[in-house]
Amino acid sequence: MTVNLLDLDAARLTAFLADNGEKPFRARQVLRWLHRFGQRDFDAMTDIAKSLREKLKALAVVVPPGLLADRVSDDGTRKFLFDVGGGNVIESVFIPELDRGTLCISTQAGCALDCSFCSTGKQGFNRNLTVAEIVGQLWQARQALGACQEQKGQSERVISNVVLMGMGEPLANLDNTVTALRLMLDDHAYGLSRRRVTVSTSGLVPAMDRLRDECAVALAVSLHAPNDRLRDELVPINRKYPLRELLAACLRYLEKAPRDFVTFEYVMLDGVNDTDALARELLALTRDVPCKFNLIPFNPFPGSRYRRSPATRIRRFVELLSDAGVVTTTRKTRGEDIAAACGQLAGQVLDRTQRTGRRSFVLHLDRQEVCT
């Protein structure tokens, strides 16, 4: 059986090559060709012995997810759609800014956690993405952005940051996510610092502990409510891992985190979680956790039952948190001419849960807004 080399981090590639009589340094060479230079043609890997190239041709393939569409918004935000087979389409978004370029990637086709304000969740769940499909989004985006020609030592990278905030719950696909993260951090592959790679989770407590122990990158936690009653309604996984346990897991994570704070994401839902009283409750709840807040104006999608909080309400919420000394930012909405917003990433998923009662979705190529 052929191996997809994009599924292998350094340790697995070393083991695969050792099984085939090759020395460990070959793994570093192959990793550089595959990931740093984006090369998938074994014949072009010129510093690799011809005998190894022949072996690789016989035993291995390099297969990223197929790029179906690449749309650029007026402000430079760019959305990639990938075919991951079986009728499933996933999405990544590239957000260029003055001082950084961030790629937002997906970890599952759909999501089983069913948050009430999230389009991905409302689609249901098909399957976990493989390592090659997760890291392959980065591989493909770098090709499309012309980033594979970067010179060693060049300080500004086209993709300087990666956030696992696309479709799916990364910590529900922990093994593949960790292997993909290791590749992102590997100096011979993408060489990103742990501070520049962020995992966003809705709060799978045991998996947060495992991530901390196996590959502690920057952490964002989707909080969205200051008490269990409201959070149970918005983020159903809260019924299993309530706020007290979630915040304790955040403190444990911080012992090994590359940054000395957790980012709490908070979607702003008009009249639901955006009152002054709830902002104060939020401050009391998170008092003992070093944190920053990132408020996300709700992005509507067809059939959603919420409205975005008005700008004045969002400003007031920022003011209450900031005045209490908590650094609070609001996510900008960008690229409204293409469809790629937080929580709107829908691609196409053949739901395997019974939740949606549907077997397929049409591609939403014309929905609005990109949220960064």
> Which residues form the catalytic set?
91, 342
x/- site string to ligand SF4, residues 186 to 225, per CB under 6 A? ----------------x-------------------x---
- Give the number of residues written for the chain: 372
Q: Does 113 bind ligand SF4 (CB under 6 A)?
A: yes
Q: Which stretch binds ligand SF4 (CB under 6 A): 72-80, 107-115, 239-247, 293-301?
A: 107-115
Question: What is the rounded distance in angstroms from the CA atom of residue 177 to the CA atom of residue 130?
Answer: 8
Q: Does 48 bind ligand SAH (CB under 6 A)?
A: no
Q: Which stretch binds ligand SF4 (CB under 6 A): 79-87, 88-96, 106-114, 190-198?
A: 106-114
Q: Taking the alpha carbons of 37, 372, 74, 67 in that order, is the dihedral positive or negative?
A: positive
Q: Which of 10, 111, 184, 211 binds ligand SF4 (CB under 6 A)?
A: 111
Q: Which of 48, 219, 296, 349 binds ligand SAH (CB under 6 A)?
A: 296
Q: Does 115 bind ligand SF4 (CB under 6 A)?
A: yes
Is 371 labelled a binding residue? no
Strand partners, 163: 104, 198
Question: What is the rounded distance in angstroms from the CA atom of residue 20 to the CA atom of residue 14?
Answer: 10
x/- site string to ligand SAH, residues 160 to 199, per CB under 6 A? -----x---x------------------------------
Write the CA distances from 365 to 114, 262, 280, integer angstroms: 22, 33, 39
Q: Does 200 bind ligand SAH (CB under 6 A)?
A: yes
103 three-state secondary structure: strand
Strands 197-201 and 3-4: unpaired
> For residue 109, which of 202, 182, 176 has the smallest C-alpha distance?
176
Q: Does 7 bind ligand SAH (CB under 6 A)?
A: no
Is 116 labelled a binding residue? no
Question: What is the rounded distance in angstroms from the CA atom of residue 162 to the CA atom of residue 83?
Answer: 20
Closest residue to ligand SAH: CB criterion: 343
Which of 73, 173 has the CB closer to ligand SF4? 173
Q: Does 328 bind ligand SF4 (CB under 6 A)?
A: no
Alpha helices, H only, the chain: 10-19, 24-31, 50-59, 119-123, 131-144, 174-185, 205-215, 228-234, 243-254, 276-285, 311-323
Residue by residue, DSSP assigns 132-181 as HHHHHHHHHHHHHTTGGGPPTT-SS-SS-EEEE-SSS-GGGGHHHHHHHH
Q: Does 48 bind ligand SF4 (CB under 6 A)?
A: no
Q: What are the φ/ψ torsions at residue 109 (nearest 5 degrees)?
A: -85, 100
Query: What is the contact surface with ligand SF4 in residues (CB under 6 A)?
Result: 111, 113-115, 118, 120-121, 168-169, 202, 222, 343
Query: What is the contact surface with ligand SAH in residues (CB under 6 A)?
Result: 117-119, 165, 169, 200-202, 222, 265, 267, 296, 298-299, 342-344
Q: Which positions make up the binding site for [4Fe-4S] cluster? A: 111, 115, 118
Q: Which positions make up the binding site for S-adenosyl-L-methionine? A: 168-169, 200, 222-224, 299
